A = this chain, B = another copy of it.
Amino acid sequence: MIPRYTRPEMAAIWSPAERYRIWFEIEALAAEAMAAIGAIPADAARVIRERGGARVANITEADIARIDAIERETRHDVIAFLTWLGEGIGPEARFVHQGLTSSDVLDTCLAVQLARAADLLIADCDALLAALRRRALEHKLTPTIGRSHGIHAEPTTFGLKLAGHYAEFARNRERLLAARREIATCAISGPVGTFASVDPRVEAYVAGKLGLAVEPVSTQVIPRDRHAAFFCALAVVASGIERLAIEVRHLQRSEVREAEEYFHPGQKGSSAMPHKRNPVLSENLTGLARLVRGYALPALENVALWHERDISHSSVERVIAPDATIALDFALARLTGMIERLVVYPERMAANLEALGGVVHSQKALLALTAAGMSREDAYRAVQRAAMATWTRLGAPDGRDFRANLLADPEVAARLDAAALDAALDPRRDFAQVETIFARVFGPDAAAAAP
Contacts and interface: CB of A to CB of B under 8 A. Distances in A.
A414 to B, nearest CB: 16
B270 A383 contact: no
A146 B270 CA distance: 14
Contacts of A273: 101, 153-154, 191, 360, 362-363, 366
A392 B52 CA distance: 37
Interface string A352-367: 1001100110111111
A363 B99 contact: yes
Given A100-B271, A154-B194, A367-B197, A146 B295 contact: no
A374 B94 contact: yes
Nearest to A83: B377
Contacts of A163: 217
| Most chain B beta-carbon contacts within 10 A, residue among A175, A301, A316 | A301
Interface residues of A, number: 175
A209 interface: no
A303 B153 CA distance: 20
A375 interface: yes
Interface in A374-414: 374-377, 379-381, 383-384, 387-388, 390-391, 402
A165 to B, nearest CB: 9
A196 B149 contact: no
A36 interface: no
B269 A76 contact: yes
A228 interface: yes
A293 B293 CA distance: 13
Contacts of A431: 194
Given A217-B164, A266-B73, A376-B86, A148 B94 contact: no
Nearest to A402: B275
A370 to B, nearest CB: 4
A91 B275 contact: no
Contacts of A339: none
| Most chain B beta-carbon contacts within 10 A, residue among A146, A175, A373 | A146
A58 interface: no
A319 interface: yes
Contacts of A274: 362-363, 365-366, 380-381, 383-384, 387
A416 interface: no
Contacts of A192: 146-148, 153-156
5 contacts: A73-B264, A150-B307, A150-B310, A196-B429, A284-B311
Given A146-B192, A160-B193, 7 more contacts: A75-B268, A94-B373, A146-B193, A148-B278, A239-B304, A278-B311, A296-B300
